[in-house]
Structure 1
């Protein structure tokens, strides 16, 4: 197909996908089911409430009013007035009721037992804090955002009003709204910062304004198309999307996509120095880089697709989204980029335009020195780098405690402050009740078992109170809510769920389902442990298989995988030490190890493929030994592959500019691991091991001499 036809086809497809970017962001904004575990008991409880109760799965915003010295009569009137204003605002279509210790402002039933007699539920023991609740019949993220905005516009701010009365909006609705606000502009921020970082790096690499923009343009077109296709998948019900998955899509496509472009551009520039015909140069460059780009892309696609096996929704949804993005990027790198380079010709590199040279350009002095070092001391280098990586990995021994909600933000939002007020002056679990879904006839026995203790004093360990909301359409089921006597976001609360489940089911004639944020946290932890043991081995096996097919060997793929795993261990260990002792972050996100492993192994092997493919190409030349091929490939590809590693590391480091601690940590660990891969593993360790093994690298194949 003529190059202008290729360029036109890509641009037309991108233009067709532009209108789908907004709907994708709208879908991604609703994360109400993103952080649930597929098939878990807590997800089942939520589904039963949604499907079989009139109001569906209720969500509650809790307003904590504070006046040091005690709530006054004027404050009580303000709380009642605030409730009336929330009821009459007309901006919360799913509003079910608003109530406080001083009565209901609207609504005819109260799922939180707002009537007098609920010990410690509505006013603190020192009378300094009073709580109000706003119950909603829709637990989606957009509704939570709308409700919290309405409430915060009405109640006093945390800093206090003119009288000194202060208020925080928290509870599950407050948490959801604040998380959504933190990621609302995440894609725009990532796109801007990523593009700026990449343009600066490409300018430094090529010293050409046009060549700095060409890869960004190609990746941008591919990203728009991938985003549109992702929305079509989401609309068809194939997958879901969240702010987290769309953010990672940007980073992965711009990082890996720019690397694919760098490989082809570098080879194209070399060919322009050998031939006067730009068309011939781009043809040769494409032929020689296409296998490496295809193999590198296939490795990342395979690693991402393995994520669909996860039970944790946030992990599983990334699989098809990220795999689709890389697939589109690979196709763009093999079609759109060559067409653009062919159309631009030598002008693409202005002002550093490559000219035909009579003799091959000498190897860069730095890489000539690295090549000589590896050639002379491969054993010492391999041992030293391996010991260094193992020493760094020791920093991860013992692990770190999981991060709770209050630690999830770089700057804690209002809902976290409100939760801390409640934890200090009320029953700590008041901010996140546990829901019990049971047969209607079992309700009294279950509540008695949980609150009175029966054979085991459960009440002393966990619960303060429970109530049965009015049942809607289903007369066979009931829902009770209970409040833990501990911080609901702590490990102790999460660990209590198995015993609570055993106690509830022991008291019931049928089964009891536990839902709410604490059971969801427990089920998430269990699901992620299962996911890790399933996803990681399968991902490694697929990557090993693709490497074996590319290199037609077994030995080389095995030690390449091993070296990348070493760099992952080093990055995780050193990061743990830095997070804990330098940044004061003793907790880590539950997804950190899993995501860091998948990205580091897939992407680390990804651009190591560029070196391995060049080694095989050089070895295929008549009269060349494997030792010579390794050194030549290292010297010739050192600059471009190091540039690719820096680009990828810089792109992932952009995640550190975002307000969520989980993305900050993923960005830090992956960027560190990629830098280690770039300067230690790919530049020193892999070539040294390859030199030591010599012709045994290709076993069971035999390379002709």
Structure 2
């Protein structure tokens, strides 16, 4: 038996199986539609919603050593030095001596349980003359660190602090600005996200429906998409919630809009593919039911494999050590899988019911004739299918993408919770005021814990260490033993045993951002020399605080890069190899996606860190975007190259490209615009991470669609030629029938046995 006849037999069996599936879905169309409507309603009513958690630094996967240092500090002193909630008073014209004194006495009273409040303690720090070394102003501000029940959520802790401030700081002389810190910032982020999720969902839905309407010049096609997306969202939120409960994972609340955007985008993409196939079949003269069967048989394998590729790629995040990524991956995978199931069942069923009415009021035949005319006269298609010009196009694409990708080396990562908020936010205003009165790092200071026998009794050595810390790069001020009478009276800087001291180190840059993290790393490296030079031999040091935790998160995220990259690339490569039954093409297809990803991240760095002057990118944005863009790039690879592979069964590779590239490019362009709109509208959320995510994902999709899929991949396919299908010989066959060349959307099982295709008898 020849290889060709064996391959043809396997192909014929696969096509008959898919056609059988299509017949089943079309036959049960009303049951499918009613079933999905019932399933969506039941899921929203009976199943738990997708669990979200507005994770604090610890839940995001922060450095265990920093938390251990905080816990050790509390054990030694019986009282924490660090708080993530700060009450800010600031008057640039100057605060009265009485107002500053009242702030200090108020803190002491809180520690003595003199107020009816849930607060457990307070540490007031004024910038009165000499009270805080390194303060930028004098007698203008008081920052009071507040301590609430640590087991309470940061929403609850923030509310307790705000209520206390509103009850106590009622006079104009108090110069109350607001409550700030990492916990209030996270609470504010959560409230912003909750407020904008409906806006983003509605706007995104309108945008993708507009893309569908313009693509098909139809009002009915967007309605089909709307019904499909509605069912997918209704079912997914419930199914994902049940899976999350079963697997014990949760999705950060900050990223819920991304899951919704992904779901809207992929379901819309698959609707566009099915609608394109149905329109072509109807234009060929098939009855609506047979047209639905043929379109379903042709596109279901492509949609299924593409969806599985995206799901598997996003699920690869589970290999991450970071709690954020390992929980986020399964949530994305469940979302995509549910969307795929809806797409391959509900969409064909709806199209079988509507038939040509799915494109109302558009004239199908005229629309296809216009497209065919554009395809025949497409200079671009001719360019990328001619070897000499394809080499030039590929070289230009690679050079341009490579130049943009080179900017990735300048990428810095940080957290910047406060800085992500709108400038008018109370948390942001209070942080700015505190920074003006002291230094930017005051809202999240760093604690240095020094332990050693009798270290607290060597006042001169302890003082020398404080002076040395003050002189370190990036340090604005240090509050240590002997620097504050109020702090010394409270016993918060020298342990009662005398075997430990601690310093409050305030950085001169915004905490949690890249510059502060770099400065803290330098301080950590210098500590052994600093303690030795101060005369503190045999002591141990440890750093705690939000900047130290952010350092741990960024380090863990960077360490995850290798694991996530290997897993994502392996999964996407495997899916391409299985679908194309080749080794060569998947390699350069995946390499093209990686190059496009690098260019996207490079452009993002140039815009946000260069043009906009941001200190860094939010730590999770590049990695979440990388997994999504790689997976979605493979999704489009499967659709675009898969069409060429199908057409090359009956014609030469160049003929297959001339027939398939324009049509697949048009569908991919429409799908890409819908997906880019879906992701890009995340920027409506007035938080910096969402603007970064919206930008990087939208730009990445557009580069993928208009550069990689339209130019680079066809050019590479032309250059590499039939070797692309190695080790199979799929692209080496020739079948020069004119009929085959005229049927670019052919997937009719009847043609395999040589039977002429005919329109099936109609009838519901």
TM-score bracket for this pair, using the shorter chain length: 0.7 to 0.9
Asked if 1:494 is matched to 2:520, the reply is yes
User: Which residue, out of 477, 482, 487, partners 2:504?
Assistant: 482
Per the TM alignment, residue 367 of structure 1 is displaced from its structure 2 partner at its CA by: 6.7
Residue 563 of structure 1 is matched in structure 2 by: 592
1:152-163 paired onto structure 2 within 5 Å:
153-154=166-167
Asked if 1:4 is matched to 2:30, the reply is yes
Asked if 1:302 is matched to 2:316, the reply is no
Per the TM alignment, residue 231 of structure 1 is displaced from its structure 2 partner at its CA by: 2.8
| TM-score scaled by length of structure 1 | 0.84
Per the TM alignment, residue 89 of structure 1 is displaced from its structure 2 partner at its CA by: 9.6
Per the TM alignment, residue 512 of structure 1 is displaced from its structure 2 partner at its CA by: 6.9
Residue 105 of structure 1 is matched in structure 2 by: none
Asked if 1:693 is matched to 2:720, the reply is yes
Change (3 A) 1:371 1:620: same
Residue 13 of structure 1 is matched in structure 2 by: 39
User: Which residue, out of 382, 387, 390, partners 2:394?
Assistant: 382
User: Which residue, out of 668, 687, 693, partners 1:660?
Assistant: 687
Per the TM alignment, residue 20 of structure 1 is displaced from its structure 2 partner at its CA by: 7.3
Residue 250 of structure 1 is matched in structure 2 by: 260
Q: Any idea what the Cα deviations from partners look like across 1:61-91, whole Å, max 9, x if unmatched?
A: 222212234322664588599989999997x
Q: How many residues align?
A: 678
User: Which residue, out of 345, 353, 359, partners 2:355?
Assistant: 345
1:332-481 paired onto structure 2 within 5 Å:
332-352=342-362, 354=364, 363-365=372-374, 368-369=377-378, 370-376=380-386, 377-400=389-412, 402=414, 404-411=416-423, 413-426=425-438, 429-435=441-447, 451-452=462-463, 457-458=468-469, 460-461=471-472, 463-465=478-480
On the 8 A contact 2:397/2:707 being kept in 1, the answer is yes
Residue 155 of structure 2 is matched in structure 1 by: 142
User: Which residue, out of 680, 694, 701, partners 1:674?
Assistant: 701
Q: Which moved more, 1:44-53 or 1:485-494?
A: 44-53
Per the TM alignment, residue 127 of structure 1 is displaced from its structure 2 partner at its CA by: 1.4
Residue 607 of structure 2 is matched in structure 1 by: 578
Per the TM alignment, residue 270 of structure 1 is displaced from its structure 2 partner at its CA by: 1.4
Change (3 A) 1:435 1:309: farther
- Distance (whole Å) between structure 2 residues aligned to residue 458 and residue 101 of structure 1: 19
- Distance (whole Å) between structure 1 residues aligned to residue 429 and residue 502 of structure 2: 27
Per the TM alignment, residue 345 of structure 1 is displaced from its structure 2 partner at its CA by: 3.0
- Distance (whole Å) between structure 1 residues aligned to residue 550 and residue 706 of structure 2: 39
Per the TM alignment, residue 136 of structure 1 is displaced from its structure 2 partner at its CA by: 0.5
User: Which residue, out of 23, 28, 31, partners 2:53?
Assistant: 28
Secondary structure, counterpart of 1:338 in structure 2: helix
Change (3 A) 1:175 1:341: same
User: Which residue, out of 66, 79, 85, partners 2:90?
Assistant: 66
Q: What are the ranges of 5 or more consecutive residues in structure 2 without an aligned counterpart? A: 1-23, 482-486, 735-764
On the 8 A contact 1:565/1:601 being kept in 2, the answer is yes
Change (3 A) 1:663 1:324: same
- Distance (whole Å) between structure 2 residues aligned to residue 119 and residue 40 of structure 1: 32
Per the TM alignment, residue 168 of structure 1 is displaced from its structure 2 partner at its CA by: 2.7
Per the TM alignment, residue 378 of structure 1 is displaced from its structure 2 partner at its CA by: 1.9
- Distance (whole Å) between structure 1 residues aligned to residue 661 and residue 585 of structure 2: 15
Q: Any idea what the Cα deviations from partners look like across 1:140-196, whole Å, max 9, x if unmatched?
A: 232144235535644769xxx766934232233332333223323242222111111
Change (3 A) 1:442 1:431: farther
On the 8 A contact 2:125/2:143 being kept in 1, the answer is yes
1:222-371 paired onto structure 2 within 5 Å:
222-236=232-246, 238-352=248-362, 354=364, 363-365=372-374, 368-369=377-378, 370-371=380-381
Secondary structure, counterpart of 2:284 in structure 1: coil
On the 8 A contact 1:29/1:142 being kept in 2, the answer is no
Change (3 A) 1:232 1:338: same
Change (3 A) 1:509 1:126: closer
Residue 15 of structure 2 is matched in structure 1 by: none
Per the TM alignment, residue 551 of structure 1 is displaced from its structure 2 partner at its CA by: 0.4
Residue 41 of structure 1 is matched in structure 2 by: 65
Per the TM alignment, residue 424 of structure 1 is displaced from its structure 2 partner at its CA by: 3.6
Q: What are the ranges of 5 or more consecutive residues in structure 1 without an aligned counterpart? A: 103-113
Per the TM alignment, residue 314 of structure 1 is displaced from its structure 2 partner at its CA by: 2.4
